Amino acid sequence: MIRWGVVMTVVAACVGYLVYSASGGSAEYYLTVSELRAQQPASGVVRVAGVVQPDVQRTDGGLHVRFTEKDTTSSVMVDYTGALPDIFRPGITVVAEGRLGPDGVFHASTLLAKCPSRFSTSTYTQ
Amino acid sequence: MILAFLGSGALLAGLVMAVFSVLLSFWAGWSENRVMIQVGRRAFYATAAMILFASVLLETALLTHDFSLAYVTEHSDLSTPIALVAAAFYGGQEGSLLYWALILGLLGSASLLASAKLGLRQAAYAAGTMAAILSFFLVVLVLVASPFNLLQITPPDGLGLNPVLRDGGMLIHPPVVLAGFASFAIPFSFAAAALLAGRSDAAWIAHTRRFALVAWGLQSTGLVLGMWWAYHVLGWGGYWGWDPVENVALMPWLATTAYLHSSQVQERRGRLRGWNFGLVILAFLLVVFGTFIVRSGIVPSVHTFAVSAIGPWFLGFLGACLLFSVGLLALRAGGLKSHGEPAPAVSREGAFALQNVLLIGVVAVVMWGTILPLVSGMVGQERVVGAGYYEKAAGPLFAAILALMAAGPLVPWRRAGGPLWRSLRWPAAAFLIVLGVLFAAGVRSVPPLIGIPLAVAVASTVLYEYVRGAGRWRNAGGGRRRAVGLLARRRRRYGAYLAHLGLAVVVLGLAASHFWQQEKDVTLAPGQQVSVAGYTLTYAGSESRELADHTELVAAMKLGSQTLEPARATYAGLGGQSLTHVAISSSPIADVYVVLAGTNGDGSASFRVFVNPLVSWIWAGGAIIILGVVLGNAGALRSAAEPVGVRVPSPVGAS
Amino acid sequence: MTLIVATLLLFAAGPFVLWPLIRTPDEATDEAA
Q: What are the domain boundaries of chain A?
A: 29-114
Residue in B235, B306, B384 closest to A86 by CB:
B235
User: Which of A15, A62, A114 lies at the smallest CB-CB distance from B606?
Assistant: A62
C15 to chain B, any CB pair closer than 8 A? The answer is: no
pLDDT of residue A77: 86
Q: How confident is the model at residue A25 (pLDDT cuts 50, 70, 90)?
A: low
**A28, A95 Cβ separation under 8 angstroms:** no
Chains in contact with A via at least 3 Cβ–Cβ pairs below 8 Å:
B
Residue B375: how many CB atoms within 10 A of its CB? 12
Using the predicted structure, report yes or no on whether residue B636 has a pLDDT greater than 60.
no
Mean pLDDT for B562-589 is: 83
What residues of chain C lie within 8 A of the CB of B16, using their CB? 6, 10
Q: How many residues does chain C have?
A: 33
Do C5 and B50 count as a contact with CB atoms less than 8 A apart?
no
DSSP tag of B654: B
Q: Are residues B411 and B507 in the same domain?
A: yes
Does B150 touch chain C if contact means CB atoms closer than 8 Å?
no
A4: nearest Cα among B333, B407, B360: B360
DSSP secondary structure letter of residue B144: I
Inter-chain touch B46–C33, beta carbons under 8 Å: no
B49 touches chain C (CB under 8 A): yes
Q: Across the interface, do C10 and B43 touch by the CB < 8 Å criterion?
A: no
Residues of B in contact with C33 (CB under 8 A): 33-34
pLDDT band at B477 (very low <50, low <70, confident <90, very high): low
CB contact under 8 A, B597 and A14: no
Q: Tell me what pLDDT residue B286 has.
A: 97
Would you state the pLDDT for residue B386?
A: 85
Identify the H or E element spanning A95.
strand A93-100
Render pLDDT for B508-534 as a digit per residue (tens, 0 to 9).
999 999 999 999 989 999 999 999 988
Contact C13 B34 (CB under 8 A): no
Q: Identify which of A27-36, B201-210, B313-322, B518-527 has the greatest average pLDDT.
A: B313-322
DSSP code, position B307: P
Among the partner-chain residues B16, B39, B46, the one whose CB lies closest to the CB of C21 is B39
Which of chain C's residues have a Cβ under 8 Å away from the Cβ of B123?
none
Judge contact between B457 and B430, C-beta under 8 A: yes
Mean pLDDT of B429-444: 93
Q: Are C17 and B6 inside 8 Å of each other by CB?
A: no
B 182-241 near A (Cβ less than 8 A): 230, 233-236, 238, 241
- With CA atoms as reference, the chain B residue closest to A18 would be B393
Touch between C and A (at least 3 CB pairs under 8 Å): no
Q: CA torsion B128→B130→B134→B135, rounded to 10°?
A: 20
Minimal-distance CA residue of chain B relative to C23: B35
- pLDDT tens for B296-326 read 878 877 665 555 678 899 999 999 999 999 9
CA of B535, closest CA in chain A: separation in Å? 21
Say yes or no to pLDDT of B204 above 90: no
Confidence label for B641 from pLDDT (cuts 50, 70 and 90):
very low
Domain boundary among B514, B542, B562: B514
Average pLDDT rounded to a whole number, residues A82-100: 79
Give the distance, in angstroms, between the CA of residue A95 and the centroid of all CA atoms in the same chain. 5
Tell me which chain B residues have a C-beta less than 8 angstroms from the C-beta of A29.
381-384
Residue-wise pLDDT for B27-79, tens only, equals: 999 999 999 999 999 999 999 999 999 999 999 999 999 999 999 998 888 88
Question: What is the enclosing helix (H) or strand (E) of B237?
Answer: none
Please indicate whether residue B429 or residue A61 has the higher confidence score (pLDDT): B429
Render pLDDT for B153-171 as a digit per residue (tens, 0 to 9): 888 888 877 766 677 777 8
- Other CB atoms within a 10 A radius of the CB of residue C9 amount to 24
Distance CA B55, CA B72 (A): 13
Q: In angstroms, rounded to a whole number, what is the distance separating the alpha carbons of residues A89 and A123? A: 15
Chain A residues in contact with B353 (beta carbon < 8 A): 4, 7
Cβ distance B39 to B61 under 8 Å? Answer: no
How many structural domains are present in chain B? 2
- CB count within 10 Å of CB B654 equals 14
B613, pLDDT greater than 70: yes
Amino acid at B538: T
Could you tell me which chain C residue has the CA closest to the CA of B51?
C9
Q: How confident is the model at residue B199 (pLDDT cuts 50, 70, 90)?
A: confident
B392 to A49: CB separation less than 8 angstroms, yes or no = no
CB–CB contact B165 A121 (8 Å):
yes
Looking only at the bridges linking them, the beta strands covering A46-52 and A27-32 are parallel
The torsion of the CA quartet A25, A31, A37, A42, rounded to 10 degrees, works out to -10
Dump pLDDT digits (tens) for B136-157: 999 999 999 999 999 988 888 8
Q: What share of chain A is helix, strand, coil (3-state, %, to 5)?
A: 25, 40, 35
DSSP state of B242: -
Q: Which of B306, B382, B576 faces A120 most closely, judged by CB atoms?
A: B306
- Helix (H), strand (E) at residue B530: strand B529-532
Our answer on whether B and A touch (3+ beta-carbon pairs < 8 Å) is yes
- Asked if C2 and B4 count as a contact pair (C-beta separation under 8 A), the reply is no
In sequence order, the β-bridge partners of residue B562 are B559
pLDDT in the model for residue B647 = 38
Name the residue in chain B with its Cα closest to that of A13: B361
Q: Is C29's Cβ below 8 Å from some Cβ in B? A: no
Residue B250 lies in a domain: no
| Residues of chain B found within 8 Å of residue C24, distances taken between Cβ atoms | 35
- Give yes or no for C16 touching B (CB within 8 A): yes
Contact between B307 and A122 (Cβ < 8 Å): no
CB proximity B365 to A under 8 Å:
yes
Over the stretch C2-26, which tens digit does the pLDDT of each residue have?
899 999 999 999 999 998 888 766 5
Beta-carbon contacts of residue B653 (< 8 Å; ≥ 6 apart): B119, B120, B121, B199
Q: State how far residue B151 is from chain A, nearest Cα, in angstroms.
A: 15
Contact A30 B300 (CB under 8 A): yes
Q: Which fold, A29-114?
A: OB fold (Dihydrolipoamide Acetyltransferase, E2P) (2.40.50)
Contact B303 A123 (CB under 8 A): yes
B92, pLDDT greater than 90:
no
Task: Look at A18 and B388 and tell me if their CB atoms are within 8 Å.
Answer: no
Interface A–B counts its CB contacts (< 8 A) at 186
- B373 to chain A: closest CA residue: A30
Contact at CB, B350 and A2, closer than 8 angstroms: yes
Torsion of CA B553, B558, B561, B565, to 10 degrees: -20
Residue B69 pairs with which residues in a beta bridge? B150
- Which residues from chain A sit within 8 angstroms of residue B162, using beta carbons? 115, 119-121, 123
C1 and chain B: CB distance < 8 Å anywhere? yes
**Is the distance from CB of B456 to CB of B504 less than 8 angstroms?**
yes
Q: At B119, which helix (H) or strand (E)? A: none
Q: Which of B368, B580, B606 sits opposite A61 (nearest CB)?
A: B606
Contact B365 A122 (CB under 8 A): no
Residue B576 confidence class, pLDDT cut points 50, 70, 90:
low
Contact at CB, B9 and C5, closer than 8 angstroms? yes
Closest C-alpha to B413, from B345, B461, B347: B347
Domain contains B68 = no
Q: Which residue of chain B comes nearest to C21, CA vs CA?
A: B35
Residue B1 forms contact with C (CB below 8 Å):
no
Share of chain A above pLDDT 70, in %: 79
- The boundaries of the domain holding residue B541 are 518-615
